[in-house]
Homo-oligomer: A and B are copies of this chain.
């Protein structure tokens, strides 16, 4: 009822004064540890409520040398919902453990990544998650500052451990699915390992895995890859305006071939979305005339027709990723890091090859 306006959040000392006890007693009540009489506890609780006391995280962090914050460095959040999802689930898990995440977008720019890492260090994050790290020397800055770092899925550098996704299982499933439907001319639209994944790398890159699965999928069906059906490039170009334009561009050129493919395997839903547009514009139909498969399972369910795609374990990446860095914070060591599976999600964009 009363309009008691408190200009700055109160301090623990003010609570102590109001309750007529020392700061130590207030601290004991708040931490629920140590001996406190029922009477003192009641008075402290009343004072906390009366002045709306909230502990100052900066003071606590300074003293404890823990910020209860982790930095999450990621790529192009407004282009690819994959990053949003991973960030969301990492945040969710963090909250459940009393932590908070800080996001930082590098948008594919190494210099921005460096700046972001410096911000992380200044804010004394307790750990850093990378979803698509760029530069090894940036990651090393964290090691030098004694901050544990973990890469999620898109692992680009050996400078930090990684939770990887087995891109191959899902991609192979996808290829098998297409082959079973009778497809023989299957196009590949995806990231170019030489363009994207280069640099010192711990294990094969995402792009290598997907391309490799494409090749072995073909091989398993007794087919050899036709260079004319492969489009390797970037996932997106921020300048290009339309975010699916890369997929559109590639698919369009594929459809203009004399012997056009009967199926397109795109390594990202956004690329696949562009492919759907190109097919539509060419007056063809998905899946009747041409099948399309995407990757990630981000916007797949929102497209028309709903897209068959290789789903990434985004929730697991985020949650398990956070728990792993939490372990590293608390024990100094990372637990064993899993290799998470990808899997094919069947929807409406694939069908038997047209006669």
Interface residues of A (CB under 8 A from B): 4-9, 52, 54-59, 61-62, 65, 67, 77-78, 81, 84-85, 88, 91, 100, 102-103, 105, 118-119, 121-124, 141, 143-146, 242-244, 270, 273-274, 276-277, 280, 299, 301-306
Q: Are B105 and A102 touching (Cβ within 8 A)? A: no
- Docked Cα-Cα span, A121 to B54, in Å, equals 7
List the B residue with the shortest CB-CB distance to A52. B144
Q: Are A9 and B124 touching (Cβ within 8 A)? A: yes
Q: Are A301 and B244 touching (Cβ within 8 A)? A: yes
Q: Are A242 and B144 touching (Cβ within 8 A)? A: no
A9 to chain B, nearest CB (A): 5
Q: Are A55 and B105 touching (Cβ within 8 A)? A: no
Q: Are B56 and A62 touching (Cβ within 8 A)? A: yes
Q: Which residues of B contact A145 (CB under 8 A)?
A: 6, 8-9, 52, 54
Q: A6-B145, A54-B118, A54-B121 are in contact. Are A244 and B61 (CB under 8 A)?
A: no
Q: Are A62 and B59 touching (Cβ within 8 A)? A: yes
- Docked Cα-Cα span, A103 to B88, in Å, equals 10
A144 to chain B, nearest CB (A): 6
Give the number of times this chain occurs in the complex, counting copies.
2
- Docked Cα-Cα span, A243 to B298, in Å, equals 11
Q: Are B124 and A56 touching (Cβ within 8 A)? A: yes
Q: Are A242 and B105 touching (Cβ within 8 A)? A: no
- Docked Cα-Cα span, A242 to B298, in Å, equals 11
A331 to chain B, nearest CB (A): 15
Known: A54-B145, A243-B301. 10 other contacts (CB 8 A): A7-B146, A8-B145, A57-B122, A58-B59, A62-B62, A78-B84, A243-B302, A273-B302, A273-B303, A276-B304
- Docked Cα-Cα span, A191 to B116, in Å, equals 38
14 A-B pairs within 8 Å (CB atoms) are namely A6-B145, A9-B146, A54-B145, A57-B123, A58-B62, A58-B124, A78-B81, A81-B81, A84-B84, A103-B103, A273-B304, A280-B304, A299-B302, A302-B303
- Docked Cα-Cα span, A100 to B306, in Å, equals 37
Q: Are B105 and A91 touching (Cβ within 8 A)? A: yes
Q: Which residues of B contact A9 (CB under 8 A)?
A: 121, 124, 145-146
A271 to chain B, nearest CB (A): 10
Q: Which residues of B contact A58 (CB under 8 A)?
A: 58-59, 61-62, 67, 123-124
